[in-house]
Structure 1
């Protein structure tokens, strides 16, 4: 095995995947949301950066080729699991998340069955767009958690009438309640829409991958 800088970046991204969930065990919210968001965004950036460096420096290795898709899937699946937890099993999020996780498990099992043959099935540009949509959607949804908990912190001690007055403009908004509310709504629905786009791309690329694998799944007669 060759341990290059691109490979080290991939390994760090792989380790960052469970660390996203650990943030919510050791930090209170919204700090946990902030740390998870920053960690996820940095890891997502390295996903592009390590591939670019490997190609530019001609340091593409078998270790990197093996770890890169594993790190991507771990980041996505663990992040979706975390967001499912704090979104309260919202069906608008849960359905596309389920489709994405199902596809990742199915394709991973198919790759394992195909063994060395899986290397012949090249990653398409559509699959790369799918990964990008997933990463952006998840980052935006982590931001939603930040705004939601800003609202909870800033309304502590307020009664319902005071909150209603601030939101209706009848009382001064000294704590930034209104903009946090709209930021939470905008980021939530933006993230959900992007996640549905990612889910659609996930299904298309999954069907395409299965179709390409079909010739290798036929029984010998």
Structure 2
């Protein structure tokens, strides 16, 4: 049900994206901190929507569809905007590219596995990757608008590199797991062979004989 609390929390992550994007264009300290706060709240809902859905037995097909999409839209939007406003530049763009490419890879892999009815659970390392990634992005949103004397930008970039490294590792693990299913030789399902039609009166003839 779309109006259940877990699904509403998931939808809130999508609704907040345009607001965060708009705040990137406001070159004020309060705008950076507000965008960071909204991003942090959105990241927190990623935990609570799944937890509540399981606890309240409200796991739905809509929720399973929207949850990964909301996460990817939020992360992709923030990464693009960090580059657009020069809060992320130079070689530090590389982990951002790795993260985006991995998201495309995993999405395609999940779609393939879903087609053959095979699930792909999230590993513990992938959860750590997501946590580090979200913290790093939140720090980078603040960037140079952070406290004076604190290397906020450097801390955020270091966290993003750590997330990028874990992204490579988890992406490779997922690809290996998916490759096993790709190489499996599945026997084709036997087709129903229609029985030949019997001539009219054949059953009567057998009964009589």
TM, length-normalised to structure 1? 0.76
In 2, Cα distance between equivalents of 1:83 and 1:96? 13
Alignment root-mean-square deviation, CA = 2.2
Give deviations 1:80-129, integer Å, cap 9, x for gaps. Answer: 11111223652242011111111111211222333344751111111111
Give deviations 1:44-93, integer Å, cap 9, x for gaps. Answer: 11111112211221222221122111111111111111111223652242
In 2, Cα distance between equivalents of 1:78 and 1:118? 31
Q: Which residue of 2 aligns with 1:44?
A: 43
Structure with larger RCO (C-alpha < 8 A, sep 6+): 1
Flag the 1:124–1:44 CA change in 2: closer, same or farther, 3 A.
same
Alignment of 1:8-19 (within 5 A): 8-19=8-19
SS in 1 for 2:59: coil
Q: Which residue of 1 aligns with 2:111?
A: 112
Q: Which residue of 2 aligns with 1:21?
A: 21
SS in 2 for 1:217: helix
Q: Which residue of 1 aligns with 2:66?
A: 67
In 1, Cα distance between equivalents of 2:97 and 2:8? 30
Q: Which runs of 5+ in 2 are unaligned?
A: 187-209
In 1, Cα distance between equivalents of 2:91 and 2:60? 40
Alignment of 1:126-205 (within 5 A): 126-147=125-146, 180=148, 182-183=149-150, 186-205=151-170
Aligned residues: 186
- 1:4/1:59 contact within 8 Å kept: yes
Q: Which residue of 1 aligns with 2:190?
A: none
Give deviations 1:142-197, integer Å, cap 9, x for gaps. Answer: 121423xxxxxxxxxxxxxxxxxxxxxxxxxxxxxxx62x23xx211111111111
Between Structure 1 and Structure 2, which shows a larger proportion of helix residues? 1
In 2, Cα distance between equivalents of 1:119 and 1:216? 8
Q: Which runs of 5+ in 1 are unaligned?
A: 148-178
- 2:113/2:120 contact within 8 Å kept: no
Flag the 1:4–1:91 CA change in 2: closer, same or farther, 3 A.
same
SS in 2 for 1:14: helix
Flag the 1:121–1:4 CA change in 2: closer, same or farther, 3 A.
same
SS in 2 for 1:120: coil
Q: Which residue of 2 aligns with 1:96?
A: 95
Flag the 1:29–1:2 CA change in 2: closer, same or farther, 3 A.
closer
SS in 1 for 2:183: coil
